Amino acid sequence: MVIWQRRTMNAAPILMRVARALRESRSYNGLRNRASYVDLNGERLLVAALSDIIASKRAANRPRDRAVIDVLSATLAQKKTEAN
């Protein structure tokens, strides 16, 4: 899930929907603090942390979300290994 913000848009409504979807004690500020900006063709995109994306997919529990949890979890584990 990509949370994005154009220079003229406020990402708060999008982030709030994601925060509610988590159904955990994670706050909006925490979700935003864990997110990071990336540049894509000159646009700044605010991208949720992979751990938050996984949590939101677990909370949604839809077939299409369950289908990617293993891949996302493996990617997160690999990123953690590479960081050490």
Please give the Cα distance from 1 to 34 (Å, whole number). Answer: 14
Alpha-carbon dihedral 33, 17, 53, 43, rounded to 10 degrees: -70
pLDDT, residue 76, reads 96
pLDDT, residue 71, reads 97
pLDDT, residue 16, reads 55
Please list the ranges in the chain whose pLDDT falls under 70: 1-26
- Sequence ranges of the domains in the chain: 12-83
Please give the Cα distance from 57 to 32 (Å, whole number). Answer: 17
